Amino acid sequence: MQQLLTPDYYHYEWAAISSAFCDSNGDAVVIWDDGEQLKCHPLWLRENAPGPGGIDPRSKENDLNIVDLDLETRIENVSIKNGALVVHFEPEGRQATFHPGWLRHIADGEHQPFALLPEPRIWTSADFVEPPTHDGPTVLASDEALAAWLDDLLRYGLARLIRLPITQEIVELVGNRIGVLRDSNFGMTWHVSVDIDPNSTANTNVELPAHSDLPSRETPPGFQLLHCQENTAHGGQSTMTDGLAVVDYLELNEPEVLEILTSRQWTFFNRDSSQDHRWTGPIIDKGDGRVPWTFRAFHPVRGFPAMAAEEVSDAYSAMQRLGYVANSDELQIRYQFTPGDLVAFDNRRVLHGRESFDATAGVRRLRGTYLDSDEVYSRVRVLRRQLTNTTQSKTFSVTGEDNYA
């Protein structure tokens, strides 16, 4: 089968097109045997035409300067050749052939941001008592094992590795196995242990109720990794709650509370001797429907009510209800960190915390890092591509001739 240039590095099955025509608006309409259709605007097709002045075969990116695109471009006619779409553009007089599998993946919505990612599954303490667990050394050595671990991480919002070495650099090693680490005022990686002069409540031995990290940032970190290096302390169980389960509960039982949590604005801040971070938003940000919800459950970081004075009392009442629900036995799981464990979780979805512990009768020492969600999503997509395709989408034919068509 002829290999046609596509604007990416995926290998597409040859989903032969059965028919195509131009509609009354001048768009190309592509039809497959199963009835699926795709309507293609002439400017979009021209921009993605393979070859010079379109998709560069070296970078697979577009080398057409938008100011050079003729906005009067129209489709003179369309035809099918060996199942591929052939388009003749005027007034340029250019003919281009488009890979039917590439067009089909757009028709199926597989180009959308979350199309190739696992569907989230909402969980409570009735579903499991500990995070989904995978073998750490295997995940470090095998892309298949890494993909399985990351699938659980995206599906449930948390996943654990066990039997990892107890060394300082492990959290960075695992993080780099996924993508680029996210820096913060705490550093690229940071410790969680009892400090004499802490700049965070995390570095004390007190209880930490369910919360998310860095709500004072415009975009809080997407994912957090915590690696246990030592734990001989009495107490200090870690806690996790699925924020989506909290939303489900509130939607069903206390919708007025959820409305307040998603609409009333707070100014979150994180200030120490060398930092001053601030951001305003609701405690639960529903986004715009195209991105995951962001939970800014902000204990121990505080916030200023950024709302009318008469709305403040109800806002505090709703925030208190969030605390009760998120820390309830029905929703929250509790587990003990063992040296060599590493837990990863979605910081904008899963609310984490810990019970208090006796710092005089043992040591509890963790090391952590953050990653942006983009890094995790990208890694999962690339792993899916590499593990499901035996060959990459080729730029050139087997004869060595450019298939610009």
Q: Please determine, for residue 169, whether its predicted confidence score (pLDDT) is greater than 70.
A: yes
Query: Above pLDDT 70, what percent of the chain?
Result: 89
Across 150-159, 177-186, 295-304, 339-348, least confident range:
295-304
277: helix, strand or coil? strand
Q: Same domain for 138 and 106?
A: no
Mean pLDDT, rounded, of the chain: 88
| Torsion angle defined by CA atoms of residues 303, 305, 306 and 309, in that order, rounded to the nearest 10 degrees | -170
Q: Which domain holds residue 83?
A: 19-111
User: Residue 395: what residue type?
Assistant: T
Distance CA 366, CA 230 (A): 7
Q: Same domain for 97 and 143?
A: no
The domain that holds 86 is classified in CATH as: 3.30.2020.30
pLDDT digits (tens, 9 = 90+) for 183-223: 998 899 998 854 334 445 555 666 688 999 999 999 999 99
In a domain, 152, yes or no: yes
What is residue 290's predicted lDDT score, i.e. its pLDDT? Answer: 52
Q: Same domain for 88 and 227?
A: no
In a domain, 385, yes or no: no
Q: Please determine, for residue 38, whether its predicted confidence score (pLDDT) is greater than 80.
A: yes
In a domain, 310, yes or no: yes
> Based on the structure, what is the number of domains in the chain?
2
Select from 111, 144, 164 the last residue of a domain. 111
pTM score of the predicted model:
0.88
Distance CA 403, CA 405 (A): 5
What is residue 232's predicted lDDT score, i.e. its pLDDT? Answer: 84
Q: CA triplet 153, 340, 238: central angle to 5 degrees?
A: 60
Q: Which two tokens stand for residue 290?
A: 């195209």
CB 371 within 8 A of CB 180: yes
Q: Same domain for 96 and 146?
A: no
pLDDT digits (tens, 9 = 90+) for 235-289: 778 999 999 999 999 999 999 999 999 999 999 988 777 889 899 999 999 876 5
In a domain, 145, yes or no: yes
Q: Same domain for 252 and 337?
A: yes
Reported confidence tier of residue 299, pLDDT bands at 50, 70, 90: low
Q: Same domain for 295 and 334?
A: yes
What is residue 302's predicted lDDT score, i.e. its pLDDT? Answer: 67
Q: Same domain for 75 and 202?
A: no
Residues 6+ apart with CB under 8 A from 316: none
CB 294 within 8 A of CB 180: no
What is residue 193's predicted lDDT score, i.e. its pLDDT? Answer: 59
In a domain, 398, yes or no: no
pLDDT digits (tens, 9 = 90+) for 219-236: 999 999 999 999 888 777
The domain that holds 145 is classified in CATH as: 3.60.130.10
What is residue 206's predicted lDDT score, i.e. its pLDDT? Answer: 61
User: Residue 241: what residue type?
Assistant: T
In a domain, 376, yes or no: no
